[in-house]
Amino acid sequence: MLFDQAVFAGQFLSGGYDSLHVHRENATFAGISVLISAVAAVLQRWPGRGPWWPILACLGLFGLIGLQILLGFSRAITLHIPLGVAIILLATALAVWAWRRR
C-alpha cells in the first residue's frame, strides 16, 4: 500500500486526476495497516518474548504517516514527497527485518 501511494501520486501528476482520490483513500488504509502491524509487534513481544523496538518502529511509522497526510492536505509537496520516500524505505527495512529474523 505504501509503494502504491507513489504510483497513485505519479498517475495524478501525469494527468489522471481520479488517482488523487485513490491516493487519499489508500493513505487511510496504509495508516490502519501500520496500526495492525503495531498490534502484531505487541503480540510478538508479549507473549512471544520478541524485541520491544518493533512496537516503537510501527508507532513511529504511524506518526510519520499522520504527518504525511497532514502535509498532503496542506499541499506542502516539497516535504510530502521526500517524507513519502522515507516512509517507504523505513517500512521496507522493517519488513525485511521481520522476514529475516530467526
Query: pLDDT per residue over 33-86, tens digit each?
Result: 999 999 999 999 999 899 999 999 999 999 999 999 999 999 999 999 999 999
Q: Print burial letters for 39-59: b (CB count within 10 Å at least 16), e (below 16).
A: eebeebeeeeebeeebbebbe
Q: What is the DSSP string of 71-92?
A: HHHTT-HHHHHHHHHHHHHHHH
This prediction's pTM: 0.90
**Whole-number pLDDT of residue 102:** 65
**Whole-number pLDDT of residue 57:** 97
Q: Which of 22, 26, 12 is nearest to 87 (CA)?
A: 26
